Amino acid sequence: MWELIYKNRQKLSSVQGRWFSDPIEGYITHLKFEGYSNKTLQGYAKVLVNFASFAEEQGTCKTDQLYEWVEPFSEHNLNPLSKERDLKIITRFLGYLQETGVVPKAKTKTRAFSSTLSQYEVFLREIRGLKPNTVAEQISYCSKFLRYLRDSGVTRVRSINQDLIERFIVAEGSRYARKTMVNKCAALRKFLSYLHSKGRIRIDLSAVIAVPRLYKHERCPRFLNRAEIEHVLASIDRGSATGKRDYAMLLLLATYGLRSAEVVHLSLDDIDWRTNKLYIRKRKPGNSSVYPLSGTVGNAIIDYLKNGRPQKGYRSLFLSHNAPHKPFKSPSVVREAAKRYMHLAGFDVVSVGAHIFRYSCAQRLFEDDFRLKIIGDYLGHRDLDTTRRYMKIDIKHLREVALNDGEDLL
């Protein structure tokens, strides 16, 4: 394997004789088996050799001593882009060594006020009966608040005061939209009320937090018309394997108004080629939908399956084109693809993601005079109020009114 990385014999012999050569070579061999290209393997190996050599210069001679030199090595690299890449490579390498038992797992940093957080987590899960995902989200934000307190010099929960809370909220408000801050403020208010109920703080400080006010239908959804959708789809290079996959994903968004998570979770078993049916299971409201598989969508998926999809044993429809070619864990890949191709098509992509295709699908059905109930069923909504939020502008009728007004003026 080292012969693949180093052509220079002198350099090759110097690396092979070092204490770190065996674990690095084992990791590179593992990546080779996972399907990584030779060029990628060379890049990984050089980063890891440089990291291990740096650690050796500091007196390290054992693999389990590498942890303490990760941050110093990253600071040693002055290029921000290279620093981020190198950190990912080293972190994955150390994770592999942990999984294979070569080194013990690194000790995790203790959370700020960990005992308080643990008790609150039990309260949310066992007393409030919240779902695991909701508990995790609330604990994560409360943990962020407590870290802020610790960094501000607070060592006791009883020392929390109005000034600290307001400063934290102001700092957070500069990072998030008002709609996002509503949920974050609500989580923090509940946490402060809990602390007061348990006698951890003297007064209930939850009233200190002013939740941003939202107005019903205050923002009009952004959408693209048919010609604009076609323009975005035409910007995709369908000659590449990645382009074939992205074209199929965005076509599913545009045709059926699917959510990005629904596209990511599609399985090969969700397509019935005999009856030309597409099944969307376990949607956000808990329901399922069945769509007729259009010829355009079907042909795009077939092209991807035959000429683009990595030949792996996974049942997930869409796979990563980077080794080790696994199913996607997050719908962010669909959102990023939507942003990328909208940018290539010349559209402003600030704060716009995959959901614009869902809004566009709803608007198209609305302009074609489909009833609200039918549109809601098509989008997989259970509540018509949800569908109404999509229908804020009747473009077709506005145009008719504008034309009529123009004729009257004449």
pLDDT at 195: 94
Which residues neighbour 34 within 8 Å (Cβ) at sequence distance 6 or greater?
Answer: 323, 324
Active site residue 390: yes
| Rounded Cα–Cα distance for residues 169 and 115 (Å) | 23
Which residues neighbour 303 within 8 Å (Cβ) at sequence distance 6 or greater?
Answer: 238, 244, 248
Interhelix angle 355-367/241-256, nearest 10 degrees: 40
pTM given for the model: 0.64
pLDDT band at residue 221 using 50, 70 and 90 as cut-offs: low
Active site residue 176: no
Phi and psi for 290 in degrees, rounded to 5? -125, 125
| Rounded Cα–Cα distance for residues 45 and 30 (Å) | 12
Q: What is the mean pLDDT of the chain?
A: 84
Catalytic residue among 62, 284, 371, 396: 284
Active site residue 284: yes
3-state secondary structure 321-345: CCCCCCECCCCHHHHHHHHHHHHHC
Active site residue 381: yes
- What average pLDDT does the segment 377-392 reach? 79
- pLDDT (tens digit, 9 = 90+) per residue, 111-139? 568 889 999 999 999 998 888 888 988 99
Catalytic residue among 144, 312, 355, 388: 355
Catalytic residue among 259, 309, 339, 364: 259
% the chain with pLDDT above 90: 36
Lowest mean pLDDT among 130-139, 187-196, 220-229, 306-315: 220-229
- pLDDT (tens digit, 9 = 90+) per residue, 24-50? 888 888 888 888 888 888 888 888 888
pLDDT band at residue 319 using 50, 70 and 90 as cut-offs: very high
pLDDT at 20: 81
Active site residue 178: no
Active site residue 355: yes
